[in-house]
Structure 1
Amino acid sequence: MATATMTPPSTPTEPAQARTRSVSPQWRARIGYAAVLAVLAYLVVLPMVRLQMLAFEDGAAGYRAQYGRFDIAKTLGTTASLALGSLVIAMVLGTLLAFAASRLPAKMGWLRIIPILPIVMPAVASIVGWAFLLSPGPGYLNVVLRLLPWWSGSDSGPIDIYTVPWIIILTGFGLTSFVYLFVSSGMQNISSEHLEAAQTSGSSTVGIFFKIVLPLLRPSLIYGGGIALLLGLGQFTGPLLLGQNSGVKVLTTEMYSRVTQSPSDFAAAAAAGSPLVIFGIVLVLVQKALLGNQTRFVTHGGKAFAPSTGRATWATVTISVFALFALVIPLVGLVIVSLSPYWSGSLSWSLLTLDNFRTLLSTDAVVQSVLTSVLTSLGAVVICIPLGYLMANLLVRGRRFKILATIADLMTALPLGIPAVIFGVGFLLTYTEPPFILYGTRTVIVLVYIVLMLPFATRMQMTAMLSLGNTYNEASATSGASPFVTTMRIMLPLMRPTILSAVALMFILLTHEFAASLLVRASTTQVMGTLLFDMWQNGSYPLVAAMALLMTAVTTIGVAIAMLVGGRNVLSKL
């Protein structure tokens, strides 16, 4: 007698339950990423949307007020000249310095870090340092030049730093280090076989540079050039400090003047920033189209860029001359004025004093500004690192979430394409009204800092993830480890140098941050850069010089701590 086999009633539902269990983690991840992106949209996109809505109110009254002015063509021309001129200077110098650094002999290898050091010096400090040296009347270098026979009969000049050409030159100097970082990183991925073959064929160093190195550096040049162009368009420090009293106007300073005038005109300010926003978004999209293959970041095999085996005297001289103009000379100007009771063209060694530094250290506002700068910078970094890790992980391994990854890619790139002053205006407008009234608090400074640093935190960690590949993650998952355990025990230790480099870079940039801070600060909540600007406006030039040196010292200490924790190579990995 056959025995009937009964199938348990629960059996048909087991595959469905298994599918539910397998899908559930994906949906949890999707919901989590969507929630993070919603928060980022509130921080990054909402201020921009509100500004544009305001500019189009009342029949686009903001655009009429801004672009109906008689001098708008000159302002637009100056903005374009500043961006393009500084781009050319930065690209030429940055590429030349990167090639020179690659040709240094082993014993002079420490010079490779020199082109990065201008990043450590705040832009506002460098600008005022040059102002003390090249102001038409009391500038110390101008005083020396007037001793020469060509200009001996003049009581001012021969150089006027408050003009557009010199603002362009100083801006180009400031952007050179950023281009150097991208180009030198690209050079490390050039196989030395190409260079050795060219040398064997009899090519000179110049021939190798133009025929071999430059074509292979195309991705780095496109990316670095795009970043330099965006930064040039959004320049604020130089035009504001040097051009404010000489009638030099760019779109960013127009935004600032529209917001700070009485009454404020946010609609016109938003309209002034619109071309920068549009151009920034277009340039970001073009970059992604040209450099969409992210595998260019993956470490490849083969021989790396060949180090120089000769003396390479020209390389040493090139880097030394750049250091002289980008670091030493402006620092000398700051030191001289900071030790003087007043700024004048004559220098008396008997009058040198430390009173300006004593005044700074005994002023509560200065001490509070240092604390605010350090605390808000560290607070933003602490939040940006895990946030950037999440976004980088979504971009690198989020193939199952293509829509979310695309949104994350664009959202994390926008702050790099939009000038900081625009975010400053947007945050000022957004957080002076309900539901979150945060104006004048450290919180709003931290929030705007997070937005500005999001691209750096994401891109640097994404590069590290791409270079590591999927092997470690797959091996950890095979061993039964959860994603959290894999992150804590595998990925973070392997990415430690990159993370520390990101921390160092973000701390440097944030302690220097000036444009957005100037708009969201209050008289009772100042950072170092905004307090320095107030001193500059008040004509307290010796205190300005001392404050600039204090800013440089604070940043240097922060970098030194990062190097102490992460090793000497932290700066070289920026």
Structure 2
Amino acid sequence: MATVTTAVGRALAMPAQWRTRLGYFVLLAVLAYLVVLPMIRLQSLAFEDGARGYRAQYTRFDIGETIGTTIALALGSLVIAMVLGTLLAFAASRLPQRFGFLRIIPILPIVMPAVANIVGWAFLLSPGPGYLNVVLRKLPWWSGTDSGPIDVYTVPWIIILTGFGLTSFVYLFVSAGMQNIGAEHLEAAQISGSSTVGVFFRVVLPLLRPSLIYGGGIALLLGLGQFTGPLLLGQNYGVKVLTTEMYRRVSESPSDFAAAAAAGSPLVIFGLVLVLIQKGLLGNQSRFVTHGGKSFAPAGGRSLWATVTIVVYALFALIIPLIGLIIVALTPYWSGSLSWDLLTLDNFRALATDGAIVSSVVTSVSTSLAAVLVCVPLGYLMATLLVRGRQFKIMALLADLITALPLGIPAVIFGVGFLLTYTEPPLILYGTQTVIILVYIVLMLPYATRMQMTAMLSLGNTYSEASATSGASPLVTNLRVMLPLMRPTILSAVALMFILLTHEFAASLLVRASTTQVMGTLLFDLWQNGSYPLVAAMALLMTAVTTAGVGVAMLVGGRNVLNKL
């Protein structure tokens, strides 16, 4: 006890700068243990026994097809997301003033869980009982057939649905760039005789290049790490990508962690390279300080086509899959025929009375909130180090790399890494909520850091320097000046992280136990068991829980919370 007291006394006796340095060192060591150690353990395992894991994975007869499907999924979904996301961002900038509220619509698909969206389209476009296929077969072109004409379980449709899912992320980046394009640029082009299409290609796209590069990089990483669509839809025809190969290797008996690690290695390498390239392209981010008065007006418009574009997107991205879920959730079984006599609320009653389902909802909400409560202060500290820690350059560089890693590495890889790391000493946490919270913290660390860092950059140094000049300590400056100014951004970060975590499926599927389930993993079990009406009801429940969380954030932070995502 005396030794501990002496050590604490020595730490307090240090100069303030050295205490700060020590604090950041301890924090970085903890984060490195959480983020980097699982990756190191996976890769060291893959190279054991003369790289047995690589031999087991990359000597398979179908490995070429698996890699090809992974690349096709990433590139195909990237093209769809970039085209739709950019078009929607431009359309949102040209909306008539009375329809300005429609700008939030392209963000709303993020609120709907990816697993719910995929399941909704499966109920609509399954070749046999899919409801849209049943309608299409009544048309003369496809009459007389018992299946089709669309098969949602094929690679092209998995790519299309994945691209739809990634569109909202591209829209977030591109729309933020659109807000920084002054109306005078567009007006000058129109006065010079350019049409709307000409303005878009000659003025808007060149000015959006940084946003397109960053948004495209994120979409490409997310496309490479896609897991939900290939797992739920690809099983029927044996469609495989590298992420589903990792899951298969771990879930088979006996588990082959070495082969799973080897399967994920290309994704890890590509993710790291892309993150480093992005950082090189962004360079010194302090040049993006924009807080204060602006000398230009944001672009605006009165285009009817913009309203139609966003409404059509909402129809396909939100309304149609929700209709599919609602229909199946209100019927006792999934079939291609509908009747008012079949409609029932029994599936929702089953959800309310099933202890496992209620427990999964509680676990999802509690673990998500716990991870968010930890991530917000962690992200604030990391953002402070990155923005204002010029005297700690080496630590800032390490912090930048550690916080960027989870953004470049698919969640399923972290799931496998945590499963391997925490099923062995010194910390055996498998099957507990603690391991779910830890993996959630790792996955959300980039979002918590980047969003708060952006807010700090936009505020600049004026406020903190004025506070320091007035004699306030760094703690007082952060509590009384910075945090109130950053409140909208922090609440937006909370909303985004809660959305993503209540949707989280890939990593949760690997670290969960039969007694510790979250909503996404329980929905997957129901899907595997063929309990489709319960699957639909569960998907709607997941969407309702997420919507409620966003609603609370908007009540606290105002209507602009979603706009700041």
2:503 aligned partner: 512
Deviations 1:327-372 (A, max 9, x none): 0000000000000000001111111000000001000000000000
The Cα of 1:295 is off from its aligned counterpart by 3.2
1:91 aligns with 2:82: yes
Q: Distance in 1 between matches of 2:299 and 2:212?
A: 20
Q: Distance in 2 between matches of 1:186 and 1:85?
A: 24
2:272 aligned partner: 281
Matches within 5 A, 1:157-168: 157-168=148-159
Matches within 5 A, 1:429-444: 429-444=420-435
1:409 aligned partner: 400
Deviations 1:382-441 (A, max 9, x none): 000000000000000011000000000011000000000000000000000001000000
Q: Distance in 1 between matches of 2:17 and 2:79?
A: 47
The question of whether the paired residues in 1 share the 8 Å contact of 2:96 and 2:304 is answered with no
The Cα of 1:296 is off from its aligned counterpart by 5.1
1:306 aligned partner: 299
Which secondary structure does the structure 2 equivalent of 1:160 belong to? coil
The question of whether the paired residues in 2 share the 8 Å contact of 1:188 and 1:304 is answered with no
Matches within 5 A, 1:13-92: 24-92=15-83
1:399 aligns with 2:377: no
Q: Distance in 2 between matches of 1:151 and 1:241?
A: 27
2:92 aligned partner: 101
Q: Distance in 1 between matches of 2:437 and 2:225?
A: 21
The question of whether the paired residues in 1 share the 8 Å contact of 2:12 and 2:19 is answered with no
1:484 aligns with 2:484: no
1:149 maps to which of 116, 129, 140: 140
TM-score by length of 2: 0.97
Q: Structure 2 counterpart of 1:31, which letter?
A: L
Matches within 5 A, 1:82-231: 82-231=73-222
The Cα of 1:192 is off from its aligned counterpart by 2.0
Which aligned runs of 4 or more in structure 1 are off by greater than 2 angstroms? 20-23
2:522 maps to which of 510, 528, 531: 531
1:495 aligned partner: 486
1:567 aligns with 2:550: no
TM-score by length of 1: 0.95
2:308 aligned partner: 317
Greater shift, 323-332 or 192-201, is seen at 192-201
1:329 aligns with 2:320: yes
Deviations 1:461-498 (A, max 9, x none): 00000000001111111111111111110000000000
The question of whether the paired residues in 2 share the 8 Å contact of 1:384 and 1:457 is answered with yes
Q: Distance in 2 between matches of 1:56 and 1:232?
A: 27
The Cα of 1:298 is off from its aligned counterpart by 1.8
Q: Distance in 2 between matches of 1:443 and 1:329?
A: 37
Q: Distance in 1 between matches of 2:250 and 2:284?
A: 41
The question of whether the paired residues in 1 share the 8 Å contact of 2:54 and 2:259 is answered with yes
1:554 aligned partner: 545
Q: Structure 2 counterpart of 1:201, which letter?
A: S
The Cα of 1:21 is off from its aligned counterpart by 12
Q: Distance in 2 between matches of 1:82 and 1:435?
A: 39
Q: Distance in 2 between matches of 1:305 and 1:84?
A: 32
The Cα of 1:246 is off from its aligned counterpart by 1.2
Greater shift, 286-295 or 503-512, is seen at 286-295
The Cα of 1:190 is off from its aligned counterpart by 1.2
Q: Distance in 2 between matches of 1:512 and 1:250?
A: 21
1:381 aligned partner: 372
The question of whether the paired residues in 1 share the 8 Å contact of 2:126 and 2:150 is answered with yes
Structure number, greater radius of gyration: 1
Q: Distance in 1 between matches of 2:361 and 2:137?
A: 39
Which secondary structure does the structure 1 equivalent of 2:15 belong to? helix
Q: Which runs of 5+ in 1 are unaligned?
A: 1-19
Percent of pairs identical after alignment?
A: 83
Matched length: 553
The Cα of 1:22 is off from its aligned counterpart by 12
Which secondary structure does the structure 1 equivalent of 2:296 belong to? coil
Which secondary structure does the structure 2 equivalent of 1:433 belong to? coil
Q: Structure 2 counterpart of 1:77, which letter?
A: G
Q: Distance in 1 between matches of 2:185 and 2:278?
A: 27
2:243 maps to which of 216, 229, 252: 252
Q: Distance in 2 between matches of 1:296 and 1:564?
A: 33
Q: Which runs of 5+ in 2 are unaligned?
A: 1-10
Q: Distance in 2 between matches of 1:146 and 1:467?
A: 55
The Cα of 1:291 is off from its aligned counterpart by 1.3
Q: Distance in 2 between matches of 1:228 and 1:94?
A: 10
Q: Structure 2 counterpart of 1:292, which letter?
A: G
The question of whether the paired residues in 2 share the 8 Å contact of 1:86 and 1:175 is answered with yes
The question of whether the paired residues in 2 share the 8 Å contact of 1:389 and 1:458 is answered with yes
Deviations 1:30-73 (A, max 9, x none): 11111100000000000000000000000000000000000000
1:11 aligned partner: none
Q: Structure 1 counterpart of 2:374, which letter?
A: I
2:453 maps to which of 458, 462, 465: 462
CA pair 42-505 structure 1, distance change in 2 beyond 3 A: same
